[in-house]
Amino acid sequence: MDTSSSKKFLLLFVTFLNFFYILLAKNTPFSMSFPLISTQLSHNSSSKALFLSSLVANSNQNTNTKTMPRVSSLNYKSTFKYSMALIITLPIGTPPQNQQMVLDTGSQLSWIQCHKKLPKIPPPTTSFDPSLSSSFSVLPCSHPLCKPRIPDFTLPTSCDQNRLCHYSYFYADGTLAEGNLVREKITFSRSQSTPPLILGCATESDDAEGILGMNLGRFSFASQAKVQKFSYCVPIRQGNHTVKPTGTFYLGQNPNFRTFRYINLLTFPQSQRMPNLDPLAYTVGMLGIKIGEKKLNISTKVFRPNAGGSGQTIVDSGTEYTFLVEEAYNKVREEIVRLVGRKMKRGYVYGEALDMCFDSVHSTEIGRLIGDMTLQFENGVEILINKERMLDEVEGGIHCVGIGRSESLGIASNIIGNFHQQNLWVEFDLRNRRVGFGKGECSMQV
C-alpha cells in the first residue's frame, strides 16, 4: 500500500529558520508558522533554499467553538509503521477513510492526500476522496486563515479562482505540495470523533503520505483536537527499510506513564523576538552529551537559543537523524575521530550532512569502539543510545553515525531525530508543557 518504500530520503519537517513573528491583534498577538522542509538526499545545498511559510489568522477566528462537540478526553491507541518516519493511519471523514500520515512533532499544518486525477496503479491509491465524506467542507476565502494581514510576508495561503483557500508548500528539493484548506472530522470510533478540523487537502504532492502536524501551534492536530498528551514508542528499525517495524502510538493517557521521567519544555515569551527560534516546537533543555563514559566538553549554552533564537534543542519525530550545531557537532566528531578515526571513510558525506561514515564490514566493531551515547537533560533525565544503534546503514555497504551538522543543512537548531528515539517512549504532555521519556521495548508493544 505504500508507494514511498523505494524512496530514500531524509524527512525533515521542522520549524525553525527565519521564523517570522507577526503581531496581529493589539491585545492578543499571536503568530503561526507552518514551515516544512524535506531534504532529498541527492540534491545539493544550493537548492535547499529553505522552505518557509506561515499562516496567519486573527484571534477571534474560533467563533464556532461553542457549537463544537467537546472532545475533552480523547483517548486512542494505534500503531504506526516506522521507516524513516513514523507513519500512522487515521480514519478521516464520514464514513472514515483510512489515511496514512507522517506523525510530525515539528510542524503545525496537517494535510492529507486528496483524490488524484490519475491514481497510481499499482499499488492502488490510498488518497482521500472528499466526495465520499458527508462531514467534508472547504474553507472559504473569507476565513481569516486565508487573509494574510501583512502584504510583504511569504504566505502559503491565497485565494484561488474558485474562491477557495489555497496553500502551497515548496519542498527543499523543488517539489510542491499544495491544495486547499478544508475542514474534516477524524472519526476514531463510533463514540470518538473530533469536530471538523482544519486540514490541508493536497492535490499536488509526490509523497505517498500526508502529515499529521503535532507541534504546539494552535492549528496543529493536537491543539485543534484538544489532545492533552500523546506518546509513541519507536521500534528498532531494520537496516534496509524493506521491513517496516510497527510501533505504538497513544493519544491521551498512556498506561506506561508511571515509568516516564519528565523535563519541562522551555517556553518563550512572544515579545522576545528571536528570528531563528521556533516557539511552537518542543524545546527541551539539553545539558550535555556523553560518549562512552566521557562527558564531552560542550558548553550548555550551545543547546539553548541565543539572542537570535539559534541553538534551541527540539524533539522532532519528523526528522530522521539528529543534528547538532557547529560547536556541539565538532566536539562529537572530535571524540569519534579519536576513537575510530582511522576507519572513517575519508571525504564521504551522506546527504550533505552525515560525515562520520564507515564501511559496513566494520560496523559492529565501530559501534563497540565508540560505545553508548547519552544525551543528558535536566532532572537527571537521559536518552541512552545503545552502541548497536550508533550507526545506520545509509546505503549498501556504508554505515554512518546518525548525527549531522545542522549548519550543513542550513538549520539553526539542535534536533533530536527519530533515529535516536528508538526503543523509547516519548510523551508530549501539552497540558503540563513537558516531555516524558520512558524505557520501551517498542517492537514488542501490543
Q: Which three cell numbers stand for residue 417?
A: 531525530
- Is there binding between residue 6 and ligand NAG (CB under 6 A)? no
Residue 131 vs 242, nearer CB to ligand NAG: 242
- Is there binding between residue 243 and ligand NAG (CB under 6 A)? yes
CB of 17 to ligand NAG, least distance (A): 26
CB of 242 to ligand NAG, least distance (A): 4
**Catalytic: 316?**
yes
Lookup result for grid cell 554512518: 400
CB of 294 to ligand NAG, least distance (A): 11
- Is there binding between residue 242 and ligand NAG (CB under 6 A)? yes
Taking the C-alpha atoms of residue 37 and residue 15, their distance in angstroms, rounded to an integer, is: 8
Q: Which three cell numbers stand for residue 14?
A: 521542522
Taking the C-alpha atoms of residue 40 and residue 436, their distance in angstroms, rounded to an integer, is: 31
Residue 60 vs 297, nearer CB to ligand NAG: 297
Q: Is 171 exposed, middle or buried (0-12, 13-18, 19+ CB in 10 A)?
A: buried
Residue 5 vs 192, nearer CB to ligand NAG: 5
For CA atoms 211, 217, 221, 224, give the dihedral sign: negative
Q: Is 264 exposed, middle or buried (0-12, 13-18, 19+ CB in 10 A)?
A: middle
Lookup result for grid cell 515509568: 259
Taking the C-alpha atoms of residue 189 and residue 254, their distance in angstroms, rounded to an integer, is: 18
- CA 374 to each of CA 58, 356, 390, 438: distance values in angstroms, whole numbers, following the listed order: 43, 18, 11, 14
Residue 62 vs 299, nearer CB to ligand NAG: 299
Residue 2 vs 204, nearer CB to ligand NAG: 2
Taking the C-alpha atoms of residue 70 and residue 77, their distance in angstroms, rounded to an integer, is: 19
Count of residues of this chain found to bind ligand NAG when the rule CB under 6 A is applied: 5
Report the DSSP pairing between strands 313-315 and 76-82: unpaired
Residue 161 CB partners (closer than 8 Å, separation 6+) = none
Ranges within 376-435 binding ligand NAG (CB under 6 A): none
Question: What's the one-letter identity of residue 279?
Answer: P
CB of 83 to ligand NAG, least distance (A): 12
Taking the C-alpha atoms of residue 52 and residue 207, their distance in angstroms, rounded to an integer, is: 19
Taking the C-alpha atoms of residue 388 and residue 365, their distance in angstroms, rounded to an integer, is: 10
- Is there binding between residue 176 and ligand NAG (CB under 6 A)? no
CB of 409 to ligand NAG, least distance (A): 24
Residue 132 vs 243, nearer CB to ligand NAG: 243
Residue 187 vs 414, nearer CB to ligand NAG: 414
Strands (E), 252-397: 261-264, 283-284, 286-291, 294-295, 313-315, 322-324, 357-359, 373-377, 382-385, 391-395
Ranges within 70-109 binding ligand NAG (CB under 6 A): none
Name the active-site residue from 104, 207, 278, 355. Answer: 104
Residue 2 vs 173, nearer CB to ligand NAG: 2
Taking the C-alpha atoms of residue 323 and residue 414, their distance in angstroms, rounded to an integer, is: 5
Residue 166 vs 237, nearer CB to ligand NAG: 237
**Catalytic: 355?**
no
Q: Which three cell numbers stand for residue 20?
A: 517570522
CB of 390 to ligand NAG, least distance (A): 19
CB of 241 to ligand NAG, least distance (A): 8
State the binding string over 276-315 for ligand NAG (x if CB under 6 A, else -).
---------------------x------------------
Contact (Cβ atoms closer than 8 angstroms) between residue 420 and residue 242? no
Contact (Cβ atoms closer than 8 angstroms) between residue 5 and residue 263? no
CB of 143 to ligand NAG, least distance (A): 47
- Is there binding between residue 42 and ligand NAG (CB under 6 A)? no
CB of 327 to ligand NAG, least distance (A): 8
Name the active-site residue from 207, 278, 316, 355. Answer: 316
Using only the alpha carbons of the chain, give its radius of gyration. Answer: 21
State the binding string over 201-240 for ligand NAG (x if CB under 6 A, else -).
-------------------------------------x-x
Kindly report the length of the chain: 446
Neighbours of 64 (CB within 10 A): 9
Residue numbers annotated as active site: 104, 316
Binding site for ligand NAG (CB under 6 A): 238, 240, 242-243, 297
